[in-house]
């Protein structure tokens, strides 16, 4: 990384975008956010994101001339090499030249973009749980299952940004229907949403379960409910957790047999369970791998940067050649 | 590739090794084989492979001094960067320095090694069905399902050679037991062996099927039986073929959603069905992809080099930096 220039990392979402300014020493020295919405249209969003970059510079009293570049992690299918959003369905963006438009709004400062899950994976790989490794895959367990693949310290995007959609890898042919049009996708079994669905299902099947004490109203069930009850010894909850861990491990096994990274980094709300989640996952994965940990080591660790992973990754994107 | 040196490509198997000598113009100018067996042990195998390299040079009257290098595709988990066979269970090889040992037997000529399926994939990528593409995945439908991943024109090996084991990606959690210790692996549904198993099963369920005319003795059933009967309009056979194509497509979909290559190249015995196999696979994959062919094109094509893909790939391995 350059030792003279500042860089901005931006994490773009459907409701807001978060931006951070990074000093030549690699410290985040300013942070701000800006609202985003579908209706404003692409040109306005690009202008507002450029404005966010200017704002964090102003906050830290850094002139724009000292800005070496801006990185953006954005939802959708992203062709990073060409700076194009191939498709972001929530915003109706299709083949949108986001990088060029932002750069125009910033007087020609270079802008690099990638998918938001990829950016988060790069953040973890460079500054978080993956610092020791050149090759890692970050899996985010949230509403869906996001994934970003880092090979040789760089985001692996595949042709026109289509790679890294591990959430839509089928684990059960003919299984639970997925929003993507397939059935049995990883995210239908390993997302927080899937865990919540299975927790509720189990509660209705086990009226005496301790899960009812934690969430008397099933609408209060979240990704923690079953884990809390399982730790208290509730059999039904333990079954939910065991099943969840099995599917999560099966998905990880598929990724490892295909990519064989040095590390799998697990983020998102469910990863808050820490070792209670990771220990059985490691055991299951080691026991079922094509080549086990004894021959080729594999680290399965918790993400470290939380919600800021995307900003850090976008910064890495901007600062690296 | 060098325009002055010759190169040898070797495809090592459990019964024999095939070797080819390639001219500076990239033509195969001599070819030979040597027997291999587990009992002879690693040092003898390495010596015999070096002997095979010498033999093809002698056949073409090319002095060893004109040999720029030797490439070897070998079964097992291969750490190509270090020239080590991490594990080849059939031969009881573990952490064997094959490249160094062969090089010693060849007066220091450089030897590069990779997994045999990877070498075949590189052969197809450089000289066969993948010539137009930088990123492709070759899937070989045989006794198992082999796979090799080419990214940016190079074999993608992952950490210590553990990548590219797509045959052991689970498609059905809890499904058919696999030799690797998992259940429901891709190769339990899409290999020629799986097709034969399902063909026999269907025959016993449908005593009136035309498949009985093609193979009156179930022991004669092969990977062609169901396809031949299906083309003749036999309903039971059509069901077997449809099911096979569905699972093959599901496995391809997983690989494409994860790697998004420009092409999937299909080899092995079953690929002999050509368009009868590929057309419905393309349709299924396009309909179920996270991002369909309209947004990001994907070629699904038949392998072109047949059994020589491994030799050609080993040559490419040797000739490229």
Higher-scoring residue by pLDDT: B3, A63:
A63
**Which residues, in sequence order, are bridge partners of residue B111?**
B70
Specify the DSSP class assigned to residue B76. S
User: Which of helix, strand or coil describes residue B113?
Assistant: strand
For chain A, what is the mean pLDDT?
96
The predicted model gives A175-204 an average pLDDT of: 96
Q: Which residues of A278-298 are buried (b: 16+ CB within 10 A; e: fewer)?
A: bebbbebbeebbbbeeebbeb
Can you say whether residue B109 is alpha, beta or left, with left for phi > 0 and alpha for psi between -120 and 50 degrees? beta
Please, are residues B34 and B49 in contact by the beta-carbon 8 Å criterion?
A: yes
- Please write down the long-range contacts of A35-43, taking CB distance under 8 Å and 24 or more positions apart: A36/A12, A38/A14, A38/A90, A38/A91, A38/A92, A42/A91, A42/A93, A42/A96, A42/A98, A42/A101, A43/A101
Higher-scoring residue by pLDDT: B204, A291:
B204
Q: Which pLDDT score is estimated for B320?
A: 86
Q: Which pLDDT score is estimated for B278?
A: 98
Cβ neighbours of residue A179 closer than 8 Å, sequence gap 6 or more: none
Pairwise CA distance, residues A50 & B317, whole Å: 46
Q: What is the pTM of this model?
A: 0.94
Pairwise CA distance, residues A79 & A84, whole Å: 5
Alpha-helix residue ranges (DSSP H) falling in chain B = 41-59, 98-105, 116-127, 187-190, 192-205, 211-214, 225-231, 235-259, 275-288, 309-319
Please, are residues B155 and B161 in contact by the beta-carbon 8 Å criterion?
A: no
In order of A210, B13, B102, the CA distances from A244 in angstroms are 18, 41, 48
Q: What is the pLDDT of residues A138-184, one digit of tens each?
A: 999 999 999 999 999 999 999 999 999 999 999 999 999 998 999 99
CB-closest option in A149, A157, A182 to B253:
A182
Here the ipTM equals 0.93
Max intra-chain CA distance, chain B: 65
Q: Which pLDDT score is estimated for A89?
A: 85
* Mutation target among A169, A175, A179 for the B interface, most CBs of B within 10 A: A169
- In A, minimum Cα distance to B255 occurs at A169
The predicted model gives B79-101 an average pLDDT of: 94
Please, are residues A36 and A16 in contact by the beta-carbon 8 Å criterion?
A: yes
Please, are residues B290 and A187 in contact by the beta-carbon 8 Å criterion?
A: no
User: Which of helix, strand or coil describes residue B79?
Assistant: strand
Whether B89 has a pLDDT exceeding 90, the answer reads no
Higher-scoring residue by pLDDT: B110, B295:
B110
Whether B214 has a pLDDT exceeding 90, the answer reads yes
pLDDT band at A199 (very low <50, low <70, confident <90, very high): very high
Alpha-carbon gap: A178 to the closest alpha carbon of chain B (Å): 10
Q: What is the pLDDT of residues A240-252, one digit of tens each?
A: 999 999 999 999 9
Q: B86 and A151: CB-CB below 8 Å?
A: no
Q: B160 and A253: CB-CB below 8 Å?
A: no
CB-closest option in A162, A182, A296 to B160:
A296
- In A, minimum Cα distance to B285 occurs at A182
For chain B, what is the mean pLDDT?
96
User: Which of helix, strand or coil describes residue A53?
Assistant: helix
CB-closest option in B135, B165, B172 to A258:
B165
Nearest to residue A280, comparing CAs of A310, A314, A243, A317?
A243
CB count within 10 Å of CB A19 equals 28
Pairwise CA distance, residues A253 & A243, whole Å: 15
Q: A258 and B163: CB-CB below 8 Å?
A: yes
Q: Which pLDDT score is estimated for B1?
A: 47
């Amino acid at each position: 990384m350059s030792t003279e220039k500042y860089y901005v990392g931006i994490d773009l979402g459907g409701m807001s975008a978060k931006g951070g300014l990074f000093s030549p020493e690699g410290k985040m020295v300013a942070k701000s956010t800006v609202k985003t919405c579908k209706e404003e249209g692409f040109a306005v969003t690009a202008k507002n994101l450029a404005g966010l970059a200017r704002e964090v510079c102003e906050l830290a009293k850094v002139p724009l001339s000292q800005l070496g570049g801006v990185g953006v992690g954005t939802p959708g299918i992203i062709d990073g090499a060409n700076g194009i959003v191939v498709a972001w369905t929530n915003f109706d963006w299709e083949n949108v030249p986001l990088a060029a438009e932002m750069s125009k709004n910033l007087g020609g400062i270079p802008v690099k973009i990638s998918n938001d899950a990829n950016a988060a994976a790069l953040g973890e790989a460079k500054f978080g749980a993956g610092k020791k490794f050149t090759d890692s895959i970050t899996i985010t367990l949230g509403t869906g299952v996001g994934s970003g693949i880092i090979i040789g310290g760089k985001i692996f995007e595949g042709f026109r940004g289509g790679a890294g959609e591990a959430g839509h890898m089928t684990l059960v042919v003919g299984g639970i229907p997925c929003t993507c049009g397939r059935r049995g996708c990883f995210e239908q079994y390993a997302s927080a949403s899937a865990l919540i669905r299975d927790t509720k299902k189990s509660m209705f099947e086990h009226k005496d379960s301790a899960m009812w004490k934690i969430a008397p109203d099933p609408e209060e069930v979240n990704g923690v409910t079953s884990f809390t009850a399982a730790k208290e010894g509730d059999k039904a909850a333990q079954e939910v957790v065991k099943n969840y861990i099995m599917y999560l491990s099966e998905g990880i096994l598929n990724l490892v047999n295909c990519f064989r990274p040095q590390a799998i980094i697990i983020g998102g709300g469910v990863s808050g369970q820490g070792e209670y989640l990771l220990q059985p996952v490691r055991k299951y994965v080691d026991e079922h791998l094509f080549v086990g940990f004894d021959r080729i080591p594999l680290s399965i660790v918790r993400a470290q940067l939380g919600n800021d992973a995307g900003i850090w990754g976008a910064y890495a994107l901007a600062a690296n050649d």
